[in-house]
Chain A
Amino acid sequence: MNDLDPKAFDLPATGAPVNLSRRGFLGASLGALVLGVSLPAKVSRAQEAPAKIIPGTRVPAFLEINPDGSVLFRCPFMEGGQGVHTAFAQIIGEELDVDPARFKVEAAPPGPDYLLVMGGMRITGGSFSVRSSYQTMRKLGASGRMMLLQAAAKKLDAPLEELTTEPGEVVHAASGRRVPYGEIAAEAAALPIPEEAPLRDASDFRWIGKPVARLDAHDKSTGKAVYGIDLKVENMLQAAVVHAPRRGQEPGEIANRKEVEAMPGVVSVHALPGAVAVVADRWWRARRAVESLEVSWKEPEAEAKNVMPADFSSEGFKQQLIATPGPGLVAENHGEAATALEKAPKKLEAVYDAPFLAHGQLEPPSALARWNEDGTLDLWTPNQAPEMYQASVAAENGLKPEQVRIHSPLLGGFFGRHFLYHGASPYPQAIALAKATGRPVKVIWTREEEFLRDAFRPLAVARFRAGLDAEGLPEAFFAEAVGEGPTGRWFGRKPEDPDPSAVEGIADKPYAIANRRVEHVVVPSPAMIGWWRSVGHSMNDFFYEAFFDEMAEAGGHDPYELRLKLLAGMPRHKALLEAVGELSGGWRRGPFTAEDGTRRARGVAMASPFNSEVATIAEVSLLDGEAVVHDVWVAIDPGSIVNPAIIEAQVNSAVALGLSSALLEEVVYTDGEPEARNFDAYPILPPEKMPRVHVRILESGAPMGGIGEPGLPGVPPAVVNAVSVLTGERIRSLPLSKLDLTPSGA
């Protein structure tokens, strides 16, 4: 998910402008996401707003206090490694007055209580979870505490104002009596939600802002954590699938169907939309059987939608983007970029590109579906948006949403993988196979099928032109972001508006350049595209911050000093840049010789993703034609924080993924198919390439920003800027593994 602006949403996928209330258009966007690909006629059903439930207020929908004083919290957000379940235990525990370690957290079912993002949606993405719901969940915890106080007042027959709490109990100091929460939980839960409940003063926080231990560390270190792929229900069968090589093709004749039906454990063979499936008693038997099928794939019908052209290639698409002229849709415009560019004494231009990327979460997708005797459906599947899945499943199967129970397991990584993307999830297959066999069915995709049907980070191109003044300072900047963003694809886009997910990281950078203009040149992608950790920022900050170094070099300025100069009027950014400089021991660009004799250089980059601010420095050397990244220093200012240990872990994680994309990753399409189908041909960052990561957290007090994604975008440009110092040549295309990197002068 990107830096979503609700204004970007007042369009359903039909493309027809609508004028709805805020609540209405969020409903419409939800409908557009899930129904635009299937049954647009049912949008109105998804728009029916639930009656008078204010999300995030009804305490019993979220909290259950057990007799032993432990707390079950039904979390609106999915845990996929980012630590959100622990963070909310801290936030609620602080106000409820329960030690976070006493919390058990699980994903809440679909329901109106949990629509906490952007005034009426529920997603786990956009680094939104904590920043969207911090105050709401504090108030919820405080309401819960007030209800416990009220219940205790009745039980003790003591005035409410004489009662206070200590972790897990109500205390009546005057009489020395104490009531454990567990003893009054039922009475408290029956009380009305209090109108007023005082919040704890921030100076008294015991858990918010502290490095509280993750709640899931032991379970995840002992194999006890249960993921979707591990689930089992009574009488369950398992299924494996093989998809058509290209989207749009359909299964034709299966030459050896009878032989395969006779293989061990096989229950049945099925043709599904765009795929074939085998249902068996065990998954390996299903897999062996489905991969034995001899299927003739039929070419798509003329009217088929979402078809992958047989001649599609990523290289050809890149050339198409490079060649597609503007003008584009204006995303940012200050001053007179065109005039200033023309008059500038020195000009430069460059074209950058970045490839399709796979999510590569280590848990392959799975879905378990069970049709019940009363016609309802249970579905267990990894997801980042349960209500959207519910609405989609209901519409696709002729059910009411309340007849579909979505169960949201722990995510074995996600990074944007588990939103609803057309044809990119196994759940429709599980539902169809469960219906066909009359038994619960779990579908697991092989890693190879996952690479074939993942919704990739878009391939994109950026064209830059800049004009420098007599002092070599940029005075004119013109950029065109060419391609398609996932937000426009899945949430719709006004024809005249740029897609924020296509321009974020290029538009609205903080540098003082008087004349600047950023446009989005829209070129739809035949490949299925999706949100990928840090979304547009994942490539656009690379494009921009690497081109920034080109501007600095052309103007004869040090790239760090030029950034400082152009941020003179932006105290928050300037402080951050100075902090990362200091953290790294003082800015030095290099090349310099390290203690081990290697020749090294450093690169710097700034990014403003998801309402947080980040400055990054990377130190790099070259070895055998490849870049070696030794250290990465990150200063991050999310405004204010909940858990510094989890932030540091998330920055490490984002650095790893950003570095992986800079060094190694690229989905290559030829003849309409992705070439790599597993990690052997699509390498991801291995342990030996992990740099040391140094993190400094600044709390400027600005509105709270995101944490899961912001550490990523600065890494590719910081690395590339350092590599360019060593090679003496600018690098404008990723990943670096495509290049033979040789030191300048070698």
Chain B
Amino acid sequence: MELTINGQTRQIDSEPDTPLLWVLRDEIGLTGVKYGCGVAQCGACTVLVDGVATRSCVTPVESVEGASVATIEAVEEDEVGRRVVAAWVAEQTPQCGYCQSGQVMAATALLKETPKPNDEEIAAAMTNLCRCGTYNAIAAAVRRAAAQG
């Protein structure tokens, strides 16, 4: 099975029903993408599949065969992603940081699709959980990144 991960074509030998999350973490070695719940509740595992924010913990790798996957490791190679990261730092968003890879990827997907989101669009796209409660800082960072786009 073939997958494009952060612009590189990779051969995958995991079982076809293995969640994309564990292919990325254990087979490819991209541990910036996080395991939080395994049931698509928390969003710590969010990556972009062909540009769409996707919860990789419930995405069988076979279902994205041939797709282009972008992970947090490559986020700053993308112009929008770079802006999102800069806004995250400017707002001092992370606390423990464990959910933030997923949050940054969700925000990047949002701003690539909707460069100037209103508050409702931000709320609809930014649904990942944060146990540290950084939600206000996350929303501020998304608005900041959008304003600078």
Residues of A that sit less than 8 Å from B by CB: 80-83, 213-214, 216-227, 229-230, 232, 238, 264, 282-285, 360-364, 410-415, 444, 446-448, 645, 649-650, 652-657, 660, 678-680, 684-688, 690, 692-693
Contact A214 B41 (CB under 8 A): no
Q: Which residue of A238, A364, A411, A448 has the most chain B CB atoms within 10 A of its CB atom?
A: A364
* B133 contacts across to A, CB distance below 8 A: 652-657, 660, 685, 690
* B38 contacts across to A, CB distance below 8 A: 446-448, 678
Contact B96 A81 (CB under 8 A): yes
Contact A680 B39 (CB under 8 A): yes
Q: A217-B89, A652-B137 are in contact. Are A678 and B95 (CB under 8 A)?
A: no
Judge whether B121 is part of the interface by a CB distance below 8 angstroms.
no
- Can you give 16 contacting A-B residue pairs, CB < 8 Å? A221-B94, A221-B100, A226-B31, A282-B14, A283-B25, A285-B15, A364-B35, A415-B131, A448-B38, A653-B134, A656-B130, A679-B41, A686-B127, A687-B129, A687-B139, A690-B133
Q: Which residue of the partner chain B has the closest CB to A280?
A: B26
Q: Which residue of A224, A410, A657 has the most chain B CB atoms within 10 A of its CB atom?
A: A224
* B76 contacts across to A, CB distance below 8 A: 222
- Which of B31, B37, B44, B95 makes the CB contact (< 8 A) with A82? B95
Q: Which residue of the partner chain B has the closest CB to A224?
A: B32
Query: CA of A283 to CA of B35 in the docked complex: distance in angstroms?
Result: 11
The smallest beta-carbon distance between A280 and chain B, in angstroms, is: 10
Q: Which residue of B44, B104, B123, B134 has the most chain A CB atoms within 10 A of its CB atom?
A: B134
Query: CA of A223 to CA of B29 in the docked complex: distance in angstroms?
Result: 12
Q: A220-B97, A653-B134, A690-B135 are in contact. Are A362 and B41 (CB under 8 A)?
A: no
Q: Which residue of the partner chain A has the closest CB to B123?
A: A688
Instruction: Mark contacts of B130-147 with chain A using CB atoms, 8 A cut-off: 1 yes-contact digit, 0 otherwise.
Output: 111111111100000000
Judge whether B113 is part of the interface by a CB distance below 8 angstroms.
no
Q: Which 5 residue pairs across A and B have the least CB separation, nearest first?
A: A223-B32, A656-B133, A220-B97, A81-B96, A412-B98
Judge whether B50 is part of the interface by a CB distance below 8 angstroms.
no
Q: A218-B85, A447-B36 are in contact. Are A645 and B132 (CB under 8 A)?
A: no
Query: CA of A219 to CA of B72 in the docked complex: distance in angstroms?
Result: 11
Query: CA of A181 to CA of B100 in the docked complex: distance in angstroms?
Result: 35
* B138 contacts across to A, CB distance below 8 A: 687
The smallest beta-carbon distance between B98 and chain A, in angstroms, is: 3
* A232 contacts across to B, CB distance below 8 A: 29, 31
Contact B19 A284 (CB under 8 A): yes
Contact B131 A283 (CB under 8 A): no
Query: CA of A362 to CA of B42 in the docked complex: distance in angstroms?
Result: 8
The smallest beta-carbon distance between B25 and chain A, in angstroms, is: 8
- Which of B14, B32, B96, B137 makes the CB contact (< 8 A) with A362? B96
- Which of A218, A283, A652, A688 makes the CB contact (< 8 A) with B22? A283
Query: CA of A283 to CA of B117 in the docked complex: distance in angstroms?
Result: 38
Q: A218-B89, A229-B35, A362-B36 are in contact. Are A284 and B14 (CB under 8 A)?
A: yes
Query: CA of A655 to CA of B95 in the docked complex: distance in angstroms?
Result: 14
Q: A217-B89, A444-B35, A652-B136 are in contact. Are A413 and B101 (CB under 8 A)?
A: no
Known contacts A229-B35, A362-B96, A660-B133; 14 further A-B pairs (Cβ under 8 A): A81-B97, A217-B94, A219-B97, A221-B89, A221-B94, A222-B73, A363-B98, A413-B132, A447-B37, A679-B129, A686-B129, A687-B126, A687-B130, A688-B127
Judge whether B111 is part of the interface by a CB distance below 8 angstroms.
no
Instruction: Mark contacts of B18-36 with chain A using CB atoms, 8 A cut-off: 1 yes-contact digit, 0 otherwise.
Output: 1100100111011111111
- Which of A283, A361, A650, A653 makes the CB contact (< 8 A) with B26? A283
The smallest beta-carbon distance between A458 and chain B, in angstroms, is: 20
How many residues does chain B have at the interface if contact means C-beta atoms less than 8 Å apart?
A: 56
* A216 contacts across to B, CB distance below 8 A: 94, 97
Query: CA of A680 to CA of B29 in the docked complex: distance in angstroms?
Result: 28
Q: Which residue of A213, A412, A660 has the most chain B CB atoms within 10 A of its CB atom?
A: A412
Query: CA of A271 to CA of B99 in the docked complex: distance in angstroms?
Result: 33
Residues of B that sit less than 8 Å from A by CB: 14-15, 18-19, 22, 25-27, 29-39, 41-42, 44, 71-73, 75-76, 85, 88-89, 92-101, 104, 123, 126-139
Query: CA of A655 to CA of B135 in the docked complex: distance in angstroms?
Result: 11
Q: A223-B32, A224-B32, A412-B98 are in contact. Are A284 and B92 (CB under 8 A)?
A: no
- Which of B32, B35, B92, B96 makes the CB contact (< 8 A) with A213? B92
Contact B72 A223 (CB under 8 A): yes
- Which of B14, B37, B139 makes the CB contact (< 8 A) with A678? B37
Query: CA of A696 to CA of B99 in the docked complex: distance in angstroms?
Result: 27
Q: A80-B96, A411-B96 are in contact. Are A222 and B104 (CB under 8 A)?
A: yes
- Which of A221, A284, A645, A680 makes the CB contact (< 8 A) with B104? A221
* B132 contacts across to A, CB distance below 8 A: 81, 413, 653, 656
- Which of A81, A222, A363 makes the CB contact (< 8 A) with B32? A222
Q: Which residue of A363, A410, A650, A680 has the most chain B CB atoms within 10 A of its CB atom?
A: A363
Query: CA of A361 to CA of B99 in the docked complex: distance in angstroms?
Result: 10
* A218 contacts across to B, CB distance below 8 A: 85, 89
* A362 contacts across to B, CB distance below 8 A: 34, 36, 42, 44, 96, 98-99, 129-131
Query: CA of A364 to CA of B45 in the docked complex: distance in angstroms?
Result: 13
Query: CA of A232 to CA of B44 in the docked complex: distance in angstroms?
Result: 20
Contact A284 B18 (CB under 8 A): yes
Contact A684 B129 (CB under 8 A): yes
* B135 contacts across to A, CB distance below 8 A: 656, 687, 690
Contact A238 B26 (CB under 8 A): yes
The smallest beta-carbon distance between B113 and chain A, in angstroms, is: 18
Query: CA of A362 to CA of B123 in the docked complex: distance in angstroms?
Result: 21
Q: Which residue of the partner chain B has the closest CB to A450?
A: B37
Contact B89 A679 (CB under 8 A): no
Contact B42 A679 (CB under 8 A): yes
Q: Which residue of A225, A645, A693 has the most chain B CB atoms within 10 A of its CB atom?
A: A225
Contact B71 A679 (CB under 8 A): no
Q: Which residue of the partner chain A has the closest CB to B31?
A: A230
* B89 contacts across to A, CB distance below 8 A: 213, 217-218, 221
* A264 contacts across to B, CB distance below 8 A: 15
* B101 contacts across to A, CB distance below 8 A: 222-223
Contact B123 A649 (CB under 8 A): no
Q: Which residue of the partner chain A has the closest CB to B100?
A: A220
Query: CA of A222 to CA of B100 in the docked complex: distance in angstroms?
Result: 8
The smallest beta-carbon distance between B133 and chain A, in angstroms, is: 2
Q: A223-B71, A655-B133, A679-B42 are in contact. Are A361 and B32 (CB under 8 A)?
A: no
Q: A217-B89, A284-B26 are in contact. Are A361 and B41 (CB under 8 A)?
A: no
The smallest beta-carbon distance between B112 and chain A, in angstroms, is: 17
Query: CA of A415 to CA of B85 in the docked complex: distance in angstroms?
Result: 26
Query: CA of A83 to CA of B39 in the docked complex: distance in angstroms?
Result: 30
Q: Which residue of the partner chain A has the closest CB to B36?
A: A362
* B31 contacts across to A, CB distance below 8 A: 223, 226, 229-230, 232
Query: CA of A227 to CA of B97 in the docked complex: distance in angstroms?
Result: 10
